[in-house]
Amino acid sequence: DVKVTQSSRYLVKRTGEKVFLECVQDMDHENMFWYRQDPGLGLRLIYFSYDVKMKEKGDIPEGYSVSREKKERFSLILESASTNQTSMYLCASSGQFNPSYEQYFGPGTRLTVT
Amino acid sequence: RKEVEQDPGPFNVPEGATVAFNCTYSNSASQSFFWYRQDCRKEPKLLMSVYSSGNEDGRFTAQLNRASQYISLLIRDSKLSDSATYLCVVIRNTGGFKTIFGAGTRLFVKA
């Protein structure tokens, strides 16, 4: 079974703090993704990575950065958290040669910025 | 207008009912289509892929209509355990693959 884990299920941070969200997958997948999910808006892609040290902006990268130093680990960084970044953050991975492009998701981190 | 649109619902149906969801997409370069299921407070999981020829998995049938640019999901003989949010997912390749999620349709199946 593919397993994607995220460092925290719930996180509360103050405005202006630097926030690190970590994601680890155990299936040797090339592709990893960070999404945020908000009611009525669905999942929106923040960043993705198709290889170690490679990253691509998604639809809403502003206010976020990412790091992928190892294949199994993809980190999302909020440089200076703001209240509009309160959301559910979901990490996912997929294998480059998976013809169905199935994405396997982690359990999510519910971040509240006060 | 969103690139992938779904009726948010909620759909409230009794056990045993047949229910259908539609999802429309606007970009004709879209090439792969899926339905994901998301239980309350859980992560999304792949339910099934959608092909032009249609595909069936037990009580679930998915169809793709490229001409009208929509996909559908039919659930027969609904069970209580089918209560979830169903996400339509479209992948297009326009200078690189892009995955677009619909906002989801909520289903409640009641006894």
**Between chains, do A107 and B8 touch, taking CB under 8 Å as contact?**
no
**Token output for A44:** 């929106």
**Token output for A13:** 């941070």
Q: Does B9 touch chain A (CB under 8 A)?
A: no
Q: Label residues A26-56 b or e (16+ Cβ within 10 Å = b).
A: eeebbbbbbbbbeeeebbbbbbbbbeeeebe
Highest mean pLDDT of the ranges A99-103, A107-111, B30-34: A107-111
**Token output for B47:** 């339910």
**Between chains, do A42 and B101 touch, taking CB under 8 Å as contact?**
yes
Residue B45: which of A101, A69, A105, A46 has the closest Cα?
A105
pLDDT of A111 over the 60 cut: yes
Lowest mean pLDDT among A44-48, B55-59, B96-100: B96-100
Q: Are A11 and A114 in contact (CB under 8 A)?
A: no
Q: How many CB atoms lie within 10 A of CB A61?
A: 15
A97 — pLDDT class (breaks 50, 70, 90): low
Task: Find the CB nearest B32 among A41, A45, A101.
Answer: A101
Average pLDDT of every residue of chain B: 92
* Euclidean distance between CA atoms A72 and A27, whole angstroms: 8
Q: Are A62 and A56 in contact (CB under 8 A)?
A: no
Average pLDDT of every residue of chain A: 92
B64 — pLDDT class (breaks 50, 70, 90): very high
Residue-wise pLDDT for A25-67, tens only, equals 999 999 999 999 998 888 999 999 988 999 999 989 999 999 9
Q: Which of A4, A9, A23, A103 to mutate to test the interface with B (most CBs of B within 10 A)?
A: A103
Residue-wise pLDDT for B67-81, tens only, equals 999 999 999 999 999
Nearest CA in chain A to B47: A102
Q: What percent of chain B has pLDDT over 90?
A: 75
pLDDT of B93 over the 90 cut: no
